[in-house]
A and B are shown apart, each in its own frame.
Chain A
Amino acid sequence: MVMNSKERWYEGTVYVALLLLAALVVFPLLYVLSVSLTPYSEVMKNGGFRIIPTQITWEAYGMFLKDSTIPRAYGVSFFVTIIGTLLNVILTVLMAYPLSKKTLPGRSALLFIVMFTMMFSGGIIPTYLIVKATGLLNSVWSMIIPTAVGTFSLLITKTFFENIPESLIEAARIDGASESRVLVRIILPMSLPVVATIATFYGVMHWNEFFNAVMYITDTDKLPLQVVLRGILTASMSSEINSEKTVPTTTLQMAGVILSALPVVATYPFIQKYFTKGMLVGAVKG
């Protein structure tokens, strides 16, 4: 296609605008990384952080690894993420498959029961009381069981299953496959994009877990990474300074930020293509 100079200007502007927006996203992350690598003594000397560090040191990261708080919180977060996501995906698929069968008696009533929870909830306090009544208070399971199925993920998965041709399932059944076999051997392998999508959503949700932990967990050694990190970040902001605790330096705080962002940012490029596809399916058909 031939472009005149006006078109070329236009194209150029679009590229530049998008590059600027992308920089707006990337820059803060790189800056945090740079701060975490700057020796704090340099900051004291030069007054404030610079965009490009004058010196590089890993001492902040070393301090975290020596201290037991962050590694333990890492452990809690990994446990919650792995076990929680597994449970989420299994329960979601188990629900989505029957609900995708249009012949299932009571299907619309069951769907309504599920969808209604998207519109109305009992609220924070009653939910807390139920979690307490079911004995999950102060247990790592309080970050897993009360969010066992996500309604949105369930609907995406159900929609995907509905589009799998029925004849395929019929054929398998004629060959003598049981329902569970059909689900595991035929439906699941075909549904990899959507399963990867919901697994990503659930996984990120668990890794970023903050609120359930704040509400339900009081033992400090059961707190996940995000809660521990917020404590480190706000220590210097809070007005009441506890003289016994040393206030972490900004360098140390930013090392904590990098450590807890790392798993998401590092796996992101690999999982990104799945959920883009999965989300588009959800956005168009959902």
Chain B
Amino acid sequence: MLARSTERRDFLLQKKLLAAFFQHRIHYAMLLPGMLYFLVYKYLPMYGAVIAFKDFSINDGILGSSWANPWYKHFKYFYDSPYFAQVMTNTLLISIYKLFWLMPTSILLAILLSEIRWKPFRNIVQSILYMPHFISWVIILGISLALFSEADGLINTMLKDWGLHSFPFLTSNEWIRSLLVGSDLWQNMGWGAIVYLAAIAGIDPTLYEAARVDGAGRLRMIWHITLPGIRNVIVLMLILRMGTILDAGFEQIYVMYNIQVYEKADIIDTWVFRTGLEQFNFSLGAAVGLYKSIIALTLVVTANAIAKRWGESIW
């Protein structure tokens, strides 16, 4: 009796579920092409990452290639190679420098913009500051050449005019990281301010009124109201950036670096690209890529767990 009633309940539930699926059939049809895209171009590569554990050969394909012996052969090769330390150091340093410069600048910019009450000025400045975000790295390379090239860049022309000697800003290990960090700052400081501007807009204006009545100046208000008011967002953005610390800016670096500066500018992704695709070490490249993806996943999940503690979950 009892068994029959649960059976019946299951049956009804199934029928209801089927009816719900049927009712949404057009929605599933709409989803189909997009999901297919995700499966083919996002999930198949995840499966394809097994070649990190194989000795991949183009002729045998992903399935047919034989397993590496031992299975961690390519990982070990990377770990033992002299590039490991260099590439890891470069990735982390460039990433941390960028974070160190970009975040405070964006916060400062957001505060400055929020202090402006004359709307047209604010809008124009804001639009100008967002613009570099839409400019490609190749164009930024062009701009860097115009400004910093040793032969006829503006800075070196000026230095030479003043009787000083010129600097190889673009082709020396000494300057390349500053150039990478500086151009990243130029491209993204305005764009980075958006999220802090939104947070500042969300601060209760009566707090400022009260502070004004108490005789607080503008700087005091920034210190005691604005900054604490956006503290959560700052922490959240910091945690989020931690999750992507191994992405030091693949495209930017690939576009802007050159063989003279590999020592200081070569990051994991650029190394994977050169070793894997340009020198056809597919398995080695895949192994290093996978190593990076797994660390990144761990970092993102950890970062989210921390963010949750702060009451600001990412998903």
| Interface set, chain A 238-286, CB cutoff 8 A to B | 238-239, 250, 253-254, 256-257, 260-261, 264-265, 268-269, 272, 276, 279-280, 283-284
B174 at the interface (CB under 8 A from A): no
Interface range on chain A (Cβ under 8 Å from partner): 35 or more
A/B interface sample: 17 pairs, CB < 8 A: A18-B116, A32-B146, A47-B160, A113-B35, A119-B301, A121-B42, A122-B48, A123-B45, A124-B272, A130-B44, A134-B40, A148-B34, A208-B135, A208-B137, A211-B250, A215-B273, A257-B142
Q: Which residues of B contact A175 (CB under 8 A)?
A: none
Interface segment out of the listed B4-12, B80-88, B251-259: B251-259
B293 close to A233 (CB less than 8 A) = no
When A97-B30, A110-B35, A179-B27 are in contact, do A122 and B49 touch as well, CB less than 8 Å? Answer: yes
Interface segment out of the listed B122-130, B223-231, B305-313: B122-130
From B48, which residue of chain A is reached at the shortest CB distance?
A126
A238 close to B17 (CB less than 8 A) = no
A61 at the interface (CB under 8 A from B): no
7 tightest CB-CB pairs across the interface, nearest first? A123-B289, A122-B45, A48-B157, A126-B48, A257-B142, A98-B27, A208-B136
A119 to B269, CA, bound (A): 16
Q: Which residues of B contact A250 (CB under 8 A)?
A: 145-146, 149, 151-152
From A114, which residue of chain B is reached at the shortest CB distance?
B38
Given contacts A123-B45, A123-B289, list 9 more A-B pairs with CB under 8 A: A18-B121, A105-B20, A126-B49, A149-B34, A207-B136, A229-B138, A233-B138, A264-B135, A280-B194
A95 to B146, CA, bound (A): 44
Residues in B lying within 8 Å of A, measured CB to CB: 17, 20-21, 24, 26-28, 30-31, 33-35, 37-38, 40-49, 51, 62, 109, 112-113, 115-116, 121, 124-132, 134-139, 141-143, 145-147, 149, 151-152, 154, 156-157, 160-161, 170-171, 186, 189-190, 194-195, 197-198, 202, 217-219, 250-251, 254-255, 258-260, 269, 272-273, 276-277, 282, 285-286, 289-290, 292-293, 296-297, 300-301, 315
A238 close to B258 (CB less than 8 A) = yes
Interface segment out of the listed A9-17, A62-70, A190-198: A9-17
A230 close to B125 (CB less than 8 A) = no
When A47-B157, A98-B28, A210-B255 are in contact, do A25 and B51 touch as well, CB less than 8 Å? Answer: no
B38 close to A99 (CB less than 8 A) = no
B116 close to A125 (CB less than 8 A) = no
Q: Which residues of A contact B51 (CB under 8 A)?
A: 125-126, 129
Contact residue among B43, B121, B170, B195 (Cβ-Cβ distance under 8 Å from A15): B121
B125 close to A122 (CB less than 8 A) = no
A51 at the interface (CB under 8 A from B): yes
From B189, which residue of chain A is reached at the shortest CB distance?
A21
Contact residue among B37, B286, B300 (Cβ-Cβ distance under 8 Å from A126): B286
B277 close to A125 (CB less than 8 A) = yes
When A25-B129, A146-B41 are in contact, do A120 and B297 touch as well, CB less than 8 Å? Answer: yes
B143 close to A257 (CB less than 8 A) = yes
A169 at the interface (CB under 8 A from B): no
CB distance from A284 to the nearest CB of B (A): 5
Q: Which residues of A contact B195 (CB under 8 A)?
A: 283
Most chain B C-beta atoms within 10 Å of own C-beta, residue among A18, A98, A227, A265 = A18
A126 close to B139 (CB less than 8 A) = no
Interface SS of chain A: helix
| Interface set, chain A 9-39, CB cutoff 8 A to B | 10-11, 14-15, 17-19, 21-22, 24-26, 28-29, 31-32, 35
From B26, which residue of chain A is reached at the shortest CB distance?
A179
A148 to B128, CA, bound (A): 30
Q: Which residues of A contact B273 (CB under 8 A)?
A: 124, 215
Residues in A lying within 8 Å of B, measured CB to CB: 6-7, 10-11, 14-15, 17-19, 21-22, 24-26, 28-29, 31-32, 35, 43, 47-49, 51, 91-92, 94-95, 97-99, 101, 103-105, 110, 113-115, 117, 119-131, 134, 145-146, 148-149, 154, 178-180, 183, 204, 207-208, 210-211, 214-215, 226-227, 229-230, 233-234, 236-239, 250, 253-254, 256-257, 260-261, 264-265, 268-269, 272, 276, 279-280, 283-284
CB distance from B33 to the nearest CB of A (A): 6
Q: Which residues of A contact B282 (CB under 8 A)?
A: 125, 129
B146 close to A268 (CB less than 8 A) = no
B45 close to A130 (CB less than 8 A) = yes
CB distance from B184 to the nearest CB of A (A): 14
Q: Which residues of A contact B138 (CB under 8 A)?
A: 208, 210, 226-227, 229-230, 233, 260
From A27, which residue of chain B is reached at the shortest CB distance?
B147
B139 close to A24 (CB less than 8 A) = no
CB distance from B266 to the nearest CB of A (A): 15
Most chain B C-beta atoms within 10 Å of own C-beta, residue among A32, A95, A121, A280 = A121
Q: Which residues of B contact A35 (CB under 8 A)?
A: 146
Q: Which residues of B contact A26 (CB under 8 A)?
A: 128
Contact residue among A114, A214, A284 (Cβ-Cβ distance under 8 Å from B202): A284
A123 close to B49 (CB less than 8 A) = yes
Q: Which residues of A contact B42 (CB under 8 A)?
A: 117, 121-122
B258 close to A234 (CB less than 8 A) = yes
B31 close to A99 (CB less than 8 A) = yes
A148 to B34, CA, bound (A): 8
Q: Which residues of B contact A115 (CB under 8 A)?
A: 315
Q: Which residues of A contact B218 (CB under 8 A)?
A: 7, 10
